[in-house]
Amino acid sequence: MDLKDKRILLVIGGGIAAYKSLDLIRRLRERGAKVRAILTAGGAEFITPLSVAAISGERCFTELFSHQDEFDIGHIRLSREADLIVVAPATADLIAKMAQGITNDLATAVLLATDERVLIAPAMNPMMWNHPATKRNFAQLSADGIVSVGPNAGEMAERGENGVGRMAEPLEIVAAIEGLLNEMPAPDALRGTRMLVTSGPTREPIDPVRYISNRSSGRQGHAVARAAAAAGAEVTLVSGPVEIPDPSGVKTIHVETAAEMLSAAQAALPVDVAVCAAAVADWRVDAVANEKVKKTGSRAPTLSFVENPDILATLSHGKKRPRLVVGFAAETEKLLEHAREKLLRKGCDWIVANDVSPKSGTFGGRNNQVHLVTSGGVESWPVLSKEAVADGLVRRIASTLNEARA
Q: Which residues are catalytic?
A: 214
Contacts with ligand CTP by CB under 6 A: the residue count is: 17
Rg (CA), the chain: 23
Which listed residue (278, 388, 389, 398) binds ligand CTP by CB under 6 A? 278
Q: Do β-strands 370-374 and 324-331 pair in parallel, antiparallel, or remain unpaired?
A: unpaired
Nearer to ligand CTP by Cβ, of 24 and 280: the residue is 280
Least distance in Å: CB of 327 to ligand CTP? 3
Binding mask 183-212 for ligand CTP (x = CB under 6 A): ---------------x--------------
Of residues 288 through 327, those in contact with ligand CTP by CB under 6 A are 308, 310-312, 327
> What is the C-alpha to C-alpha distance for residues 63 and 44, in angstroms, rounded to an integer?
11
Dihedral sign computed on CA atoms, order 158, 170, 118, 384: negative
Least distance in Å: CB of 382 to ligand CTP? 22
Which listed residue (45, 155, 161, 282) binds ligand CTP by CB under 6 A? 282
Q: Residue 329, interface with ligand CTP (CB under 6 A)?
A: yes
Q: Residue 330, interface with ligand CTP (CB under 6 A)?
A: yes
Least distance in Å: CB of 198 to ligand CTP? 6
Binding mask 363-402 for ligand CTP (x = CB under 6 A): ----------------------------------------
Q: Residue 328, interface with ligand CTP (CB under 6 A)?
A: yes
Of residues 334 through 353, those in contact with ligand CTP by CB under 6 A are 342, 346
Least distance in Å: CB of 245 to ligand CTP? 21
Nearer to ligand CTP by Cβ, of 117 and 342: the residue is 342
Nearer to ligand CTP by Cβ, of 6 and 342: the residue is 342
> What residues line the site for ligand CTP (CB under 6 A)?
198, 258, 276, 278-280, 282, 308, 310-312, 327-330, 342, 346
